[in-house]
Amino acid sequence: MSGSVSRFLGDSPLRVLLKLAVLSFLVGFAMHAFGWMPIDVWYALRDAALDIWRMGFDALGRFFSYFVIGAVVVVPIFLLIRLLSFRR
């Protein structure tokens, strides 16, 4: 059992626990120094995801407006060409 746990963790459980404790202390110290709280990180990630979501729909809106602007020019020209070639 210990071999499968060590293989899953990548090292012995005690060494992994020690590494995680040191890393947690360093991250906690840095977050405290910058005045960050874990909930602030969560809100920042959420806001970034929402901004990306909104940018995606803004891009679709721009695509649609480009499509309409182009269609205002292309469709009448197409119809004019079809009418002129139909007479022949």
Which stretches does DSSP call E strand in the chain? none
64 three-state secondary structure: helix
Minimal CA–CA distance to 78: which of 42, 70, 16? 70
How far is Cα 6 from Cα 16, in angstroms, rounded to an integer?
9
How far is Cα 12 from Cα 6, in angstroms, rounded to an integer?
5
Has this prediction a pTM greater than 0.85? no
Q: Residues 27-67: pLDDT tens digits?
A: 999 999 999 898 988 899 899 989 888 888 787 778 888 88
Is the CB of residue 16 less than 8 Å from the CB of residue 9? yes
Q: Side chain identity at 30, as an amino acid letter?
A: A
